[in-house]
Structure 1
Amino acid sequence: MATHTSHDVSVADNAGYAELIVGNGNFRRLWIGTLISLLGDWFNTIALYTLVTTLTGSPLALGAVFITKMLPWAVVSPLAGVIVDRFNRRRLMIGADIARAVVVLGFLLIDQPGEVGWLYVLIAAQVVIGSVFQPAKSAALPNVTTPRELLTANALMSATWSTMLAVGAALGGLATEWLGPEAVFWIDSASYLVSAVFIAGTRIPQDTDAPQGSMLRSAAREITDGWRHLRTHPRIGRIAFAKATWAAGGGALVYLLALLGNEVAPGAIAAGIGVLFMARGIGTGIGPVVVRALFTDEKTWPRVMGAAIAACGLCYAAVVWVPWTTAWQHVTLICALIIVAHGASGGNWTVSSVLLQKRTEDRYRGRVFSTDWLLVMTAESVSIFTASLLLEAGWLTLVQSFLVFGGLQVACGLAWLAIVVPRERAADDAARQAP
């Protein structure tokens, strides 16, 4: 399949999901590989949260798991973007899958509180390897789809991430309770190998520069070029901050879900966390589908992003008004609020990704998406560290934390509407008036 660069397809003319999956073999194989590895990842994630909580009982130690899953990604993502823009993306994804399959087996050795430090080292290694896979996949999507398939492909990938979060969190919570974390880590390792097999059968053309000279010598220049590209193309630079704007409060709120799991299911931590993260997955799966159906005019998307960020914060703040008990009606209401919150965040994630893909030429796309990940992971890390430190020190209760960080996210959404939306409108007006 040839590389596609045309962006003049009407959103209303997008390909259907069945048409995309049945008719595009390269996308189908990439999608199936992603689906399987994500299922294993969410099994792994719930097991790690449960393992650390059981071994330490410390909010800060649990927060460190979240941060270790993000901060190393933020640190290495600029270099990862250079790699993705210089080397074969298909081979990079296959290599990343195989390497992660080996690394996650190291979690089998962690079973004592004194060994938790090594767990963070292994998580960091898994994340650093994954920091190449994710921008390679995002950058490859426009190369294996036609312009009319691109939004559908992004919505499907986002919905797949969400569905696997919902299914993986629910099944992972049950598997961790019944089989133990060790079995879950074996499952995750196997899922990476299956993913590598599917991606190996995928043809991914790309229009990027060939490697020139030493990667270490050229990395600084290439990273600088990526940042300069964002600065000199404000329509790209603004959208690159969309996910990070959500993450300023959203990172802490997702972390608080893991602590809330023990409140709604005392004595069954993995099951409680699994149920709440399942609700998160359902929401992020519904959001992209709803946005694709309701907001067919791309010019409305910046407003949708700001409103979605604020709505997510409002729903999380509302969680404190529901009694935290094991009663099914209370748990159901909490889950409903989480579903709506992450329906909004999933919509924000999808439309911001599509706009970045459409506005960025292929040779810079890997660096732009790596910068996108750098910003969101940094914002999430700071958010989670702040929340976990405040809880560990006793300066905030769990209830107060939901209110504080929910309010922060609402403020971020309103700031986006006040600052970014007028600039997007002005850029659209200028484009219409240009000869």
Structure 2
Amino acid sequence: MKRYVTLLRNEPLLRRLSLIQLLAYFGAWFSNVAIYTLLIQMGADAATIALVAALHFLPGVFQAPLSGVILDRIHPKRLMIFLTLIEILCTLSLISVDNVGMLWLLYVLVFIRMGASSFHFTVEMSLLPRILEGKSLQTANEIHSIIWSLSYTLGMALSGLVVYWVGVTTAFLLDAGLFVIVLILASTLKIEIELSENSAKFTAMMKEAFVYIRNNPVVYHLMILHAILGFTAFDALVALAAKQYYSQIIAVSLGIGLLNAARAFGLVIGPIVLGHWINNARLGWLFFAEAGAIALWALLIDNFYGSLIASVAVGFVTTTLWSYTYTLLQHHTQSDFYGRVIAYNDMVFLGVGAFVSLLIGYLAVLGMTLGMITLILGGVFLIAAFYYEWVRRTYELKEFE
């Protein structure tokens, strides 16, 4: 914990960005419980819930080729202000959705809103390697992952309580207010960086980035390894479990909120415990541990209290896997390509998340138990452990100094 405090104290820009991250990500997750609760109240089936979960990931997939070029040409402060305005407008517009006939509007608003949110995320992640390097960059990524997890924890938990006590509409109004604060903070940022003076056309810059990735196999292998974390896109699974197993014990909104909060508690404490321990040689063991934790959840998913415990174990490993694989990619990417490589990496990661969300809904509609679906997702991390060991033996991965 001391190294996080020291870095934040010595880096005022990182400190301000971290505060913006905390509020922006909190806002992004705060209204999610309201959205899923609204769907369940309207009688949405498993396929519809899974589609909405997928819409949280798909925008980043479609916009990545363009956003990567934009990141390398437009100042991040201007982008953050513009994207926050979009999030405010879309969040307020969600209030108008109140029946199944307006599901089309919900789809559109979630798609646009999460597109802005994922772009905002990519802006900040492409900015970090421009202002930090080495161990400081690894620590900054861990801080970022803790902030994301803390926002996820508080956002889901508090939203569950707000929806339960005062309803969906109030949750959306409060969420929009948070984004207004983010807008004010972003407008006062002082970011002094130099973007590469690349006057090439957008299409040429896209092609240049794809050629760079193709010619650097360690980069695309690291992108694949990071994308595997998309198999922890459990939003649809949690919503379905709350509806199917826990609704007799607890209100659906509270069930969704508490289960996500338990997992996010593990996400917060994971890097604090594992941050000093993790290195290139040990990363494979974390993939094994994630597989085991998800398998435990698969066995306990029909038990609400057992699921809470298993969710903490799942989250405990996930954050360090996420932050370390992200740092490895940044560390092995040439600075002129930061924006585009990070954007394309997020495209692959979000594409996997969207696929997993749809897969969960499809398998549930076919009649597969939620426990078996969860076990399948955990098996992917077992494969990933062997895949990483192959990458480490085939390519020379640089350690952080």
Shared fold per TM-score greater than 0.5: yes
Cα distance in 1 for residues equivalent to 2:145 and 2:160: 22
What is the CA deviation profile of residues 328-358 of structure 1, one whole-angstrom value per residue up to 9, with x for unaligned ones?
xx61x32222112122121111011212222
Residue 414 of structure 1: how far off its partner (Å): 3.4
Residue 195 of structure 1: how far off its partner (Å): 1.2
Counterpart selection for 1:360 from 326, 333, 337: 333
Query: 2:46, 2:365 within 8 Å by CA — same for their partners in 1?
Result: yes
Any residues of structure 2 matched to 1:138-177 within 5 Å, and which? Answer: 138-145=125-132, 147-177=134-164
**SS at structure 2 position matched to 1:387:** helix
Q: What is the letter of the counterpart of residue 386 of structure 1?
A: L
Counterpart selection for 1:334 from 278, 283, 307: 307
Cα distance in 2 for residues equivalent to 1:286 and 1:78: 34
CA RMSD, aligned part only?
A: 2.2
Query: 2:145, 2:319 within 8 Å by CA — same for their partners in 1?
Result: yes
Range that drifts further, 270-279 or 195-204: 195-204
What is the CA deviation profile of residues 369-424 of structure 1, one whole-angstrom value per residue up to 9, with x for unaligned ones?
11111111111212221221121232x122322223323x2443234235323223
What is the CA deviation profile of residues 95-133 of structure 1, one whole-angstrom value per residue up to 9, with x for unaligned ones?
111221111111000000111111000011112223321
Query: 2:163, 2:171 within 8 Å by CA — same for their partners in 1?
Result: yes
Residue 307, structure 1, aligned to residue 307, structure 2: no
Counterpart selection for 2:299 from 321, 334, 349: 321
**SS at structure 2 position matched to 1:293:** coil
Aligned pairs, how many? 397
Q: What is the letter of the counterpart of residue 373 of structure 2?
A: S
Cα distance in 1 for residues equivalent to 2:285 and 2:280: 14
Counterpart selection for 1:117 from 101, 104, 110: 104
Cα distance in 2 for residues equivalent to 1:157 and 1:346: 10
Residue 147 of structure 1: how far off its partner (Å): 4.6
Any residues of structure 2 matched to 1:376-391 within 5 Å, and which? Answer: 376-391=349-364
Residue 200 of structure 1: how far off its partner (Å): 2.3
Residue 164 of structure 1: how far off its partner (Å): 1.2
Any residues of structure 2 matched to 1:120-131 within 5 Å, and which? Answer: 120-131=107-118
Range that drifts further, 60-69 or 415-424: 415-424
Any residues of structure 2 matched to 1:58-207 within 5 Å, and which? Answer: 58-145=45-132, 147-207=134-194
The aligned counterpart of 2:216 is: 233
Query: 1:166, 1:279 within 8 Å by CA — same for their partners in 2?
Result: yes
The aligned counterpart of 2:393 is: 422
Query: 1:70, 1:377 within 8 Å by CA — same for their partners in 2?
Result: yes
**TM-score, length basis structure 1:** 0.85
Query: 2:225, 2:384 within 8 Å by CA — same for their partners in 1?
Result: no
Cα distance in 1 for residues equivalent to 2:349 and 2:135: 28
Cα distance in 1 for residues equivalent to 2:223 and 2:342: 8
The aligned counterpart of 2:318 is: 345
Query: Any stretches of 5+ residues in structure 2 without a counterpart?
Result: none
% identical equivalent positions: 23
The aligned counterpart of 1:10 is: none
Residue 323 of structure 1: how far off its partner (Å): 7.2
The aligned counterpart of 2:227 is: 244
**SS at structure 2 position matched to 1:22:** helix
Q: What is the letter of the counterpart of residue 387 of structure 2?
A: W
Query: 2:91, 2:176 within 8 Å by CA — same for their partners in 1?
Result: yes
Residue 178 of structure 1: how far off its partner (Å): 0.8
**SS at structure 2 position matched to 1:240:** helix
**SS at structure 1 position matched to 2:371:** helix
Residue 32 of structure 1: how far off its partner (Å): 0.7
Counterpart selection for 1:36 from 23, 33, 43: 23
Query: 1:244, 1:377 within 8 Å by CA — same for their partners in 2?
Result: yes
Query: 1:74, 1:373 within 8 Å by CA — same for their partners in 2?
Result: yes
Residue 238 of structure 1: how far off its partner (Å): 1.7
* Alpha-carbon distance change, 160 to 334 in structure 1, aligned in 2, over 3 angstroms: same
Cα distance in 1 for residues equivalent to 2:232 and 2:27: 24
Residue 398, structure 1, aligned to residue 370, structure 2: yes
Query: 1:242, 1:348 within 8 Å by CA — same for their partners in 2?
Result: no
Residue 146 of structure 1: how far off its partner (Å): 5.8
The aligned counterpart of 2:347 is: 374
Cα distance in 1 for residues equivalent to 2:302 and 2:193: 51
What is the CA deviation profile of residues 17-49 of structure 1, one whole-angstrom value per residue up to 9, with x for unaligned ones?
222222322111111111112222221111111
Cα distance in 1 for residues equivalent to 2:19 and 2:389: 40
Query: Any stretches of 5+ residues in structure 1 without a counterpart?
Result: 1-13
